[in-house]
Amino acid sequence: MGWTVTTRSGSGGIVGKIIMTGFGLFFAVIGSQFVKQEWQSLKETKAMQQWVPMNCTIETCTVEDAGEDFRLDLTYRYTVNEQQYIADRYGKQRHLVRESISEIKAVEKKLPPGKTINGYHNPDNPSEAILDLPTIGSARSTLGMTFVFPTVGILFATIPWLRKNKKTETKTNPAAPKAFLVAFGAIFAIVGSLIVSSPIVSAIV
């Protein structure tokens, strides 16, 4: 069964344009927040490249059930300028999180208490340390992906106003509603995945 789309000039067309513009601006604002967040994350990753390598000794290492995922909780000690510190941060995020229990268990086996491994500490604040140093390449890739959202939002907001206004235009296009729903769903799925994996949400978990 086909869909019949009728476009008319007047208040109906204006209302439709306003709705699409509002929808687009919403995504543009949300997208800009992601860009800002990932830009700050990239700056932090670049700064971490200057952190100083040191030896760390694992104190504790356990796997915790974090609901839908599994989290690695660990503590390790290290010495800087003859002063000893205790830290619990694994990588860019505080905890290493995996969906598979087997994956996280494999990491746990590699970090038994008493084992000495490489780590990094902030030379400006030796109490701040990390085991897995993030790479600039992955941070840049994530930043590049976030530009999709404000771009899509701007397109949704501007395209309706660029179309020529015709008094009456009726046509049948069975694929148009499905294509819109697929695009709409895909955008929400990507936004949702970024929200779940964002540093803010990870910190709360």
> pLDDT (tens digit, 9 = 90+) per residue, 28-60?
777 777 777 777 777 887 888 889 999 999 999
pLDDT at res. 22 = 77
Nearest to 199 by CA among 93, 112, 108: 93
Helix/strand/coil (H, E, C) string of 118-153? EEEEECCEEEEEECCCCCHHHHHHHHHHHCHHHHHH
Mean pLDDT, to the nearest integer, of 173-194? 50
In whole angstroms, give the CA distance from residue 154 to residue 148: 10
Is the pLDDT assigned to residue 61 strictly greater than 80? yes
Whether the pTM exceeds 0.85: the reply is: no
Amino acid at 117: I
Provide the Cα torsion 186, 187, 190, 196; round to 10°. -120
Query: For 175-198, what is the mean pLDDT?
Result: 50
